[in-house]
Amino acid sequence: MMPNENFVLEVEDLGVSFDGFKAVDGFNFYLTRNSVHVIIGPNGAGKTTVLDLICGKTRATTGSVKFKDKNIRGNREYRIVRQGIGRKFQTPSIYENLTVLENLELSHPKGRGVFSCFFYRRKPDIMQMCLDVAKEIGLEDKLETEGGILSHGQKQWLEIGMLLMQNPEIIMLDEPVAGMSVKEREATSKLIRKICQNRSVIVIEHDMEFVKEIADRVTVMHMGKVLSEGSMETVQSDPKVIEVYIGH
Ligand SMILES: Nc1ncnc2c1ncn2[C@@H]1O[C@H](COP(=O)(O)OP(=O)(O)OP(=O)(O)O)[C@@H](O)[C@H]1O
C-alpha cells in the first residue's frame, strides 16, 4: 500500500508466534487520523496481542509498525508511550487511595510523582489540564473523591482521563465498556466520539451495539489475520464475518 499522510499508524505484515502457534499472522492495519477504528473477532483471534505488539509489550517476529512514518517496531514500551501511543488495559489501574484530581495530576508527564514532598505546589497549567480532562470524562464533580469509591464505569473513565493527561496521538482501549451499565455505556460512546476529534482511537470490543455507535471503521480478526475490513455495514454483511463471528 502507498504511504498515506492521513494514516497516523501503518501496520504491515505483523506477526508473532508463541511456541510455534501464530497468534498474529500477516496482519495489516491502517489507522486514519481523528478516527475510531474498532477491532472485533472471536475469542483468541489475536486482538489483544495486536495491541501488545503495537505498544511494544510483546515483540513482533515479522512485519512493521509505523507511527507517523517512523518505524517503532522493536522500541521499548515506555518509549512508545512517550512518543504518543497510550494504552488502557481491561482492568482499571487507578490509585484507589488517591483522589480523582491526584490520579489525573500524577499522570501528567510533568505532574507530581507518587512520593512528592510537602513543599510541592500545584502548577497552574497542569491544574487547568486536570480540570479540563475531568470535565471531558464527566468527573468534574468528583475531583476530591478517592478513586476506590468510584463506580466501575467512573473508574474506567478516570483511567481514560489519565491517558488523556499524557496527550497521546493514539489511544488504545481494550473492551472499555465490559461490565458497564447501559447508561455508562452511552456516556462512554459519547466520550470516545469526543476524544477522537483530535486524536485516533483503537478499540477492541465485543458489544456490537457499542461498536455501531462508535466505529468509523471496523477490522474483523480471525486466527491472527484480517478476515474483513470496512464500515460496520460492510463487515456486518460480509458472508465470511457472518460465518465465523456474527452468526454465532
Ligand atoms: N504470551 C502468550 N503466550 C502464549 N500464547 C499467547 C500469549 N498471548 C496470547 N496467546 C495466545 O494467542 C491467541 C490470541 O490471544 P488474544 O488474547 O490476542 O486473543 P483475543 O482476540 O484478544 O481474544 P479475547 O477476545 O478472548 O480477548 C490465544 O490463543 C492466546 O492463548
Domain boundaries, the chain: 1-84+170-248, 90-167
* Cβ of 147 less than 6 Å from ligand 1: no
Q: Each residue of 195-206: pLDDT tens digit?
A: 999 999 999 998
Residue 248: which pLDDT band, with cuts at 50, 70 and 90?
low
Atom number in ligand 1 closest to CA 19: 4
Q: Which residues contact 46 (CB under 8 A, 6 or more apart)?
A: 23, 24, 25, 27, 221, 223, 224
Q: Each residue of 118-165: pLDDT tens digit?
A: 555 677 888 999 999 999 999 999 999 999 999 999 999 999 999 999
Strands (E), the chain: 7-18, 21-32, 36-40, 62-67, 70-71, 85-88, 170-174, 200-204, 217-222, 225-230
The cell numbers describing 21, all together, are 502457534
* Cβ of 154 less than 6 Å from ligand 1: no
Q: Which residues contact 68 (CB under 8 A, 6 or more apart)?
A: 8, 169
Q: Average per-residue pLDDT in the chain? A: 91
* Cβ of 18 less than 6 Å from ligand 1: yes
pTM: 0.92
Sheet order of strands, 62-67 included: 21-32, 7-18, 62-67, 70-71
* Cβ of 219 less than 6 Å from ligand 1: no
Q: How far is CA 100 from the centre of its chain?
A: 20
Sheet order of strands, 200-204 included: 85-88, 170-174, 200-204, 36-40, 217-222, 225-230
Does domain 1-84+170-248 fall under CATH 3.40.50.300? My reply is yes
* Cβ of 54 less than 6 Å from ligand 1: no
Asked if 220 contacts 229 with a C-beta cutoff of 8 angstroms, the reply is: yes
> In this predicted complex, what is the ipTM?
0.94
**Euclidean distance between CA atoms 88 and 134, whole angstroms:** 17
Whose alpha carbon is nearest atom 5 of ligand 1?
Answer: 18
Reading phi first (left if > 0) and then psi (alpha if -120 to 50, else beta), residue 223 is in: left
In the chain, the percentage of residues whose pLDDT exceeds 70 is 92
Amino acid of residue 6: N
Residues in the chain: 248
